[in-house]
Amino acid sequence: MTDPETPRPVYDVDPWCVREQDLHLDRLAQSESVFALANGHIGLRGNLEEGEPHGMPGSYLNSFFELRPLPYAEAGYGYPESGQTVINVTNGKIIRLLVDDEPFDVRYGRLNRHVRSLDMRAGTLTREVEWRSPADDTVRVTSTRLVSLTQRAIAAICYEVEPVHEPVRIVVQSELVANESIPYLGNDPRMAAVLEHPLVSEEHVSNGHRVVLVHRTRRSGLRMAAGMTHEIHGPEKLSTEAESFPDVGRVTVATRLNPGQRLRIVKYLAYGWSSQRSRPALHDQVVAALADARLTGWEGLLREQREFLDEFWEGADVEVDGDPEVQQAVRFALFHILQAGARAERRMIPSKGLTGPGYDGHTFWDTETFVLPVLTYTFPTAAADALAWRRMTLPLAEERARTLGLEGAAFPWRTIRGQECSGYWPAGTAAFHVNADIADAVVRYVDATEDAEFEREIGLELLVATARLWRSLGHHDVHGGFRIDGVTGPDEYSALTDNNVYTNLMAQRNLRAAADMAMRHPEVADRLGVTTEEAASWRDAADAMLIPYDERLGVHPQSEQFTNHARWDFSQVGPDQYPLLLHFPYFDLYRKQVVKQADLVLAMHLRGDAFTEEQKRRNFAYYEAITVRDSSLSAQTQAVIAAEVGHLDLAHDYLGETALIDLHDLAGNTRDGLHLASLAGTWNALVAGFGGMRACQGCLSFAPRLPGGISRLSFRIRYRGRRLCVTVTAEKALYELHQGPPLRIAHHGEEFELGEDPVRLAVPPIPSVPRPAQPHGRGPAPRRTDPSGRLRPVQRGEL
């Protein structure tokens, strides 16, 4: 029996589906993010078809943005002058229904049934409704929505309505709506002025069942087109008409339905945008896409979607026995990560994907550091496309470096189109580690795919440009060490520090990788102007890189002198004073030992080769005590290293936090869009944490161990043209090669060749180690069981 004081979870726990059994109007915006569909080009929030009520309307095109001014109390040289903000484009989801003249609105009449289901194998969002109108007419409405993973410009909705008891008059209005009203945007009137009516009409046409609207942005100079066409099936007596206006296109269908009859409308949507193509060209583009979609048909689109996802899951699925919430969450994470990048095709992957307007739709370093590893080992073409986009923006990064008086490229902290959009330079411009994070993603992708063409045409140029930045930014001191001073690492509660360990270690890898890749491709290196002397200077800097170490404490300081700072007094911080940045001045945070998110611990994950096992254990314990996780990026990294050093149950707790960030709305802001990097952390915590997977220079290794709450873990990955499956229990690990030639891998340091026959190996025990403490009140919620033996669900705010 359910405890009456325990709130019922918003979504059912199901291994392949996210299902909402009742409509929760107070969680409407959260569900719109959770139920969002996308393909990397188009993103549609999970708004109700009738358009109202909504938490936040949202239809997005990747990299389609408007410019807005950046506020400064005092401007300075090199400050970015304008920002870029993703905008809500023409909404094609709207299908309004009138039943005997009564508008279908879930806030009126009575909902006998309302179920929404996100099917992660079919790639569809289904809605089933039985509604009794205020006039006592009852109808069933079923809709199925998809954003095509095979036809990049296409989304489609199958909408069906039928009477339950009595004959009814039905009118359906299928619409395209631009410049929708949006919720309150905050106190900045300049933001509201930019986003309230961002689109200017250039064309609107209607013809039969088809409507096309073309708009352009007022400031950024981008042009977009949206089109819709329909297949309509119902009684013989149907009335249809189409009309268009500057911001609205509408196809209206009217009929009378008797019990047993059904009106079925398939709505095909097409979207395209460009900064260069003309209005006629974009118009023709969406008309052509609509024609292709109609040729495929609704059933064909469903079939293509399922086949695409079947192939993806064959090389990406993760199975978790013992924790059904995490089982659902890891597939939810993989599904949304795929949606964010599958058809991005040389455009960015935003931090929220295409699920909401959070962070202005920007991409950050967390795409390369947390999201691209997942795609590299599950859907590598998307990782290549994301890095190709970085290569396309390289001229802007080189221009930014020149503005800052540096060589090479200074990639932006946050951006949509490649220009720096961060108005706070200590956490933006000074966070140069983004350059090494991009380089690290290049090295990882090349290692995992052996893609020589990518290495020559994209990878080397990115590595050379970023290596030049480090050689310019750092310097050799009087003792011969190579220093990188005055930078900000991943921890945003420390800024402008000297020799941040994470930054220095990642720069070191960047410098060595650039020199090695230049040697492999001398003709490309020569074209880029790389001399033997320059490559040698990169190696010298890498070899001399200063990595601070506190001999007194036996730990690595996060940056030089960090362990000499005063400790933050956590006993004086109440639970309502987190995140600290909203209640304490940065001045105080910057000069104390308090960590917003894993920094030194992240270095131990990505540069584990630079630390001994004892150093990892001591470092982890030290930083656990001062890390408050005011960033959703932190828990996954703490999970990975907790698992590596032997804190398996603690790692499971952190896994729950990163996995359920959006399904349980733990941060209270899922309404703004999903936390894509945190979702990626579900995979990272399971595969890199409990699977112990590491890959470098063709060496794929695993060190699997499971916590008590997980009885079995199985995951599939792609590596160098192979498909592998690793299955772990408490005692054994099973390695299987599902596709490709034999491969040498390692299990807890023991190398073997994996070929046609599966290999079973024992999982060695791990020594018991004391569980470290976290700041008061900031420990992760335990994945403990309730009295029935089931895992107790983590609730919002329980961090």
Identify the active-site residue in 492, 534, 560, 657: 492
Task: Find out whether 93 is annotated in a ligand binding site.
Answer: no
CA distance linking residue 777 with residue 655, whole number of Å: 18
Secondary structure (H, E, C), 453-469: HHHHHHHHHHHHHHHHH
CA distance linking residue 388 with residue 442, whole number of Å: 10
Query: Angle at Cα 169 formed by Cα 166 and Cα 171, nearest 5°?
Result: 140
Buried residues in 690-708 as b, exposed as e (16+ CB within 10 A): bbbbbbeeeebbbbbbbbe
Secondary structure (H, E, C), 739-759: ECCCEEEEECCEEEEECCCCE
Task: Find out whether 732 is annotated in a ligand binding site.
Answer: no
Contact (Cβ atoms closer than 8 angstroms) between residue 122 and residue 305: yes
CA distance linking residue 261 with residue 263, whole number of Å: 7
Contact (Cβ atoms closer than 8 angstroms) between residue 100 and residue 137: yes
Secondary structure (H, E, C), 232-277: EECCCCEEEEEEECCCEEEEEEEEEECCCCCEEEEEEEEEEEECCC
Q: What is the DSSP string of 615-642?
A: HHHHHHHHHHTTB---STTHHHHHHHHH
CA distance linking residue 644 with residue 611, whole number of Å: 12
Helix (H) or strand (E) holding 352: none
CA distance linking residue 514 with residue 626, whole number of Å: 35
Which structure tokens are listed for 504?
């220095």
CA atoms within 13 A on the CB side of 247: 9
CA distance linking residue 124 with residue 304, whole number of Å: 12
| 735: β partners | 726, 759
Per DSSP, the three-state class of 717 is: strand
Please give the radius of gyration of the chain, using alpha carbons only, rounded to the nearest integer.
27
Task: Find out whether 352 is annotated in a ligand binding site.
Answer: no
CA 263 to mean position of chain CA atoms: 38
CA distance linking residue 320 with residue 6, whole number of Å: 25
| 269: β partners | 155, 228
Beta strands 699-702; 743-747: pairing state = parallel
Which structure tokens are listed for 231?
């297949």
Q: Among 24, 7, 53, which residue's Cα sits nearest to residue 114?
A: 24
Which structure tokens are listed for 38?
């996308």
Per DSSP, the three-state class of 42 is: strand
Helix (H) or strand (E) holding 726: strand 722-728
Could you tell me the CA-to-CA distances from 240 to 174, 516, 602, 624 in Å, in that order? Answer: 11, 66, 59, 65
**Annotated catalytic, 492?**
yes
Q: Among 243, 359, 280, 429, which residue's Cα sits nearest to residue 669?
A: 359
CA distance linking residue 34 with residue 310, whole number of Å: 21
Q: What is the DSSP string of 169-226?
A: EEEEEEEEE-S-------S-HHHHHHHSS-EEEEEEEEETTEEEEEEEESSS--EEEE
Contact (Cβ atoms closer than 8 angstroms) between residue 84 and residue 195: no
Q: Hey, what's the torsion of the CAs at 554, 560, 561, 562, to 10 degrees? A: -80
CA distance linking residue 305 with residue 298, whole number of Å: 11
Active site residues: 492
Question: What residues form the annotated binding site for substrate?
Answer: 365-366, 596-597
